[in-house]
Structure 1
Amino acid sequence: MQIAPIREAIAEAASAVVLPAGVPKLTCTGYVPDSITEPHFFTGEVEVEFDKAMGRKLDQIEITCRVLVGRADDRSSQKVLDALLSGSGPASLKVAIEAARGAPGEAALGGLAHDLHVMRIQGYRWYEHAGSTYVGAEVVIKVIGDGSA
C-alpha cells in the first residue's frame, strides 16, 4: 500500500460530511497543514505494521487524524465537534470515512486498500496548531491492504 494516496483518499472521504446550517464546510487535507481553515480535518501520524500475512500479502496502517474546530464560542464549537465525532448522522466522520469502504467485495478507498475501519476517537481537548488554539480530537483509522502494492 502506498501511504500518500491513502491519506488523500481518507481526507476526500471525510469531506462528505454535512455540517449544521451556519457552520462553514469542513476543509480536509491528506497531510498536516501549516495553517488551517476551520473546521478542519487532516491526516497525521502514521504507524505501519508490515507482513501481517506471508509473502507481503497484508500490511496494516494506523492513521491518527485530527479534527479541529474554532473556538469563537466554546459551547457551539464543542457542539460542532460532537456532531463530527458521533457514530451516526450527516456530520459523522465515521459514517463519511467508512462509506469509502465500498460495497461488499469491493476494495476500499477506490482500490487503494482491502478495507478500513474508524477504530476510535481519542484526545478530545484543546489543541495548538500554528500558533492558534482549537477544540479538537483525534480519529484513529485502521487500513489493511496488499503489502506488495
Structure 2
Amino acid sequence: MQIAAVRAAIADAARTVTLPAGTRKLTATGYTPDSVTEPHFFTGEVAVDFDRTMGRGVDELEITCRVLVGRGDDRAAQAVLDALLSGAGPASLKAAIEAARGAPGEPALGGLAHDLRVERVQGYRWYEHAGVQYVGAELTIRVIGDGRT
C-alpha cells in the first residue's frame, strides 16, 4: 500500500460529512498540518505491520487521526465534536470514512486497500496545535491492503 495515497483518500472521505447548520465545513488533510482551519480532520501517526500474510501479501496500517474543533464557545464546540464522533448520522466521521470501503467484494479507498475500519475514538480532550487550543479527539483507523504495492 502507498501510505500517502491511503492517508489522502481517508481525508477525502472525511470531507464528505455534513455538519450542523451554522457550522463551518470540515476541512481535512492527509497529513499533519502546520496550522488548521477548524473544524479540521487530519491523519497523524501511522503504525505498519508488514507481512500479515506470506509473500508480502498483506500489510496492515493503524492510522491515528485527529479532529479539532474551535473553542469559541466550548459547549457548542463539544456538540459539533460529538456529532463528528457519533457512529452514525450525517456528521459521523465513522460513517463517512467507512463509506469509502466500497460495495462488498470491491476494494476500499478507490482501489488503494482491501478494507478499512474506524475502530475507536479516544483522547476526547483539549489539544494544542501550533500554539492554539482546540477541543478534539483521536480516531483509530485500521487499513489492510496489498503489501507488494
Corresponding residue SS for 1:51: coil
Deviation track 1:62-107 (CA, whole Å, cap 9, x = no partner) reads: 0000000000011000000000000000000000000000000100
Deviation track 1:98-120 (CA, whole Å, cap 9, x = no partner) reads: 00000001000000000000000
Structure 1 match to 2:4: 4
Structure 2 match to 1:46: 46
Corresponding residue SS for 1:72: coil
Structure 1 match to 2:60: 60
Corresponding residue SS for 2:51: strand
Superposition deviation, residue 59 in structure 1 = 0.4
Superposition deviation, residue 125 in structure 1 = 0.2
Which ranges of 4 or more aligned residues in structure 1 deviate by more than 3 Å? none
Structure 2 CA distance, aligned partners of 1:59 and 1:35?
A: 31
Letter in 1 for 2:78: Q
Superposition deviation, residue 8 in structure 1 = 0.1
Identity across the alignment (%): 75
Deviation track 1:8-28 (CA, whole Å, cap 9, x = no partner) reads: 000000000000000000000
Corresponding residue SS for 1:31: coil
Letter in 2 for 1:74: D
Structure 1 match to 2:34: 34
Q: How many residues align?
A: 149
Letter in 1 for 2:137: A
Letter in 2 for 1:107: P
Structure 2 CA distance, aligned partners of 1:81 and 1:101?
A: 23
Query: Which ranges of structure 2 fall in alignment gaps of 5 or more residues?
Result: none
Q: TM-score, normalised by structure 1?
A: 1.00
**Aligned 1:73-88 pairs, distance under 5 A:** 73-88=73-88
CA RMSD after TM alignment: 0.3
Structure 2 CA distance, aligned partners of 1:129 and 1:135?
A: 10
Superposition deviation, residue 44 in structure 1 = 0.1
Corresponding residue SS for 1:52: coil
